[in-house]
Structure 1
Amino acid sequence: MTSEVTIRSIQAADTYPLRHAVLWPQESIDYVKLNQDEQGHHYGAFCNGKLVSVISLFIDGNVARFRKFATRPDCQGQGIGSQLLRRVLEEAREKGAQRIWCDARAVNENFYRAFGLEPEGNRFYRGTIPYVRMAKSL
């Protein structure tokens, strides 16, 4: 990829358009807002100044969870989301987390395995979409 990727902290509200467009376009924008957003750490990956990938990190004691990880479809498969996830794993570790987890769409399980996350428990569904909880020690 030729364009420069910049990762930085953003506001929760900055994540909403991408969360909505990528994850739940058939729902209202309110569907992608989380009650905990104000307590979260939100990160964006920018390409040529445009926000193309977002992720939100929540830390509770020594356990971290990332949620609402979304990359613009035309920017997927270029390593941008991978850079963003690596940054969030580092941030979680720096903030004292010893473990991190997410509820991953089952279709993305191999992507998360590449970062050392492993499935825990059974598959479950949100609407018609299968998910699996994935976690790792930091």
Structure 2
Amino acid sequence: MAAPPVIWAIAPYHTYALRHQVLWPDKPLDYVKLENDADGYHYGAFQDDRLVAVISLFVEGEEARFRKFATDPAYQRQGIGSALLHHVLAEARRLGATHIWCDARQDSAPFYARFGLLPEGPEFFKGPVAYVRMGRELQPELEV
């Protein structure tokens, strides 16, 4: 069994290659860059010194949003993405957020539901990809 991933804060540009490879490989690299990347908190999960998952967190007051969550397909279903999302939920709470949300790809909704995120609106599309906004309240208790 592999060791748990090491999670570090990373620079926005360190997220771009995985965002591109996993989320939008058919689009130009600039498509995965966000206008407000400089305002966010970016985290990477490393396995054997290799960056294998990324996520970006944006906090405005008590509202937090995570975006561009991507795990290298060779490292999916090993608990790495789960560890990274647990980390981001705790970070959002630490940064003062009481609610967190994301635009989830519809086929990933069951994954987010395991973390207590529930649909907060109707299905919508980005190109051919179905999404749903999912969110949850952040309680002061620690994530497990």
TM-score (norm 1): 0.99
Question: What amino acid sits opposite 2:102 in the alignment?
Answer: C
Distance 2:4 2:86 in 1: 16
Aligned pair count reads 138
1:1-138 equivalent positions in 2, closer than 5 A: 1-138=1-138
Inter-partner Cα distance in structure 2 for 1:5 and 1:101: 24
Q: CA–CA distance in 1 between the matches of 2:85 and 2:2?
A: 20
CA RMSD of aligned residues (A): 0.6
Kindly indicate whether the alpha-carbon contact (under 8 Å) linking 1:4 and 1:48 is maintained by their aligned counterparts in 2.
no
CA offsets per residue over residues 14-45 of structure 1, 9 Å max, x none? 00000000000000000000001000000000
Please give the secondary structure, in 1, of the residue aligned with 2:14.
helix
Please state how far the C-alpha of 1:134 moved relative to its aligned partner: 0.1
Counterpart in the other structure of 2:141? none
Larger strand fraction of residues? 1
Whole-angstrom CA distance in 2 between matches of 1:25 and 1:69: 14
**Displacement over 2 Å in runs of 4+:** none
Identity percentage of aligned residues:
56
Aligned partner of residue 9 in structure 2, secondary structure: strand
Runs (5+) with no aligned partner, structure 1 = none
Q: Deviations over 1:31-73 (max 9, x none)?
A: 0000010000000000000000000000011100000000000
CA contact (8 A) 2:121 2:133 kept: yes
- Structure 1 counterpart of 2:24, which letter? W
Q: Give, in whole Å, the separation in 1 of the partners of 2:86 and 2:3.
A: 19
Long gaps (5+) in structure 2: 139-144
CA distance in 2 between counterparts of 1:115 and 1:3 reads 22
Letter paired with 1:62: E
Distance, in Å, in 2 between the alignment partners of 1:86 and 1:75 is: 17
